């Protein structure tokens, strides 16, 4: 069932929230948002900071390897400067107040 955006905004419910529907009286329904918990995240074993950093380092190494295979690790400074300048320009344009 899709709830209209206006109703979601009034109820403070985000898009994609699981809802429980109960029949109250005749054609009336009670729609209640449900709390979902990612059990492996909550009940899983705690990892040390060292383990998390090792996983992060492995992910970065994979990204670098992928970039190297695709030839994206050899970007000239001119292109880097142009990309940074464009990103800064876009960021600056987004911060200006509307007139």
Q: What is the pLDDT of residues 2-45, one digit of tens each?
A: 888 898 888 888 888 888 888 988 888 888 888 766 666 667 67
Which phi and psi (to 5°) does residue 68 adopt? Answer: -65, -40
d(C-alpha 24, C-alpha 94), whole Å: 48
% of the chain beyond a pLDDT of 70: 86
Give dist(CA 28, CA 44) in Å, integer. 41
What is residue 54's predicted lDDT score, i.e. its pLDDT? 93
Residue 57 and residue 52: Cα distance in Å, rounded?
9
Q: Collapse the DSSP code of 84 into the 3-class scheme (helix H, G, I; strand E, B; otherwise coil) and give the result.
A: helix
The owner of tokens 């998390």 is: 52
Average pLDDT value for the chain:
83
Q: For residues 19 and 31, give the distance between their C-alpha atoms in angstroms, rounded to a whole number.
A: 6
């Amino acid at each position: 069932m899709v709830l209209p955006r206006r109703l979601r905004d009034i109820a403070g419910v985000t898009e994609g929230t699981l809802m429980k529907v109960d029949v109250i009286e005749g054609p009336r329904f009670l729609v209640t948002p449900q709390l979902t918990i990612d059990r492996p995240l909550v009940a899983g074993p705690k990892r040390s900071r060292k383990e998390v950093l090792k996983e992060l380092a492995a992910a970065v190494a994979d990204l670098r390897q992928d970039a190297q295979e695709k030839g994206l690790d050899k970007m000239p400074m001119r292109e880097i400067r142009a990309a940074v300048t464009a990103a800064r320009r876009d960021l600056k344009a987004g911060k200006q107040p509307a007139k």
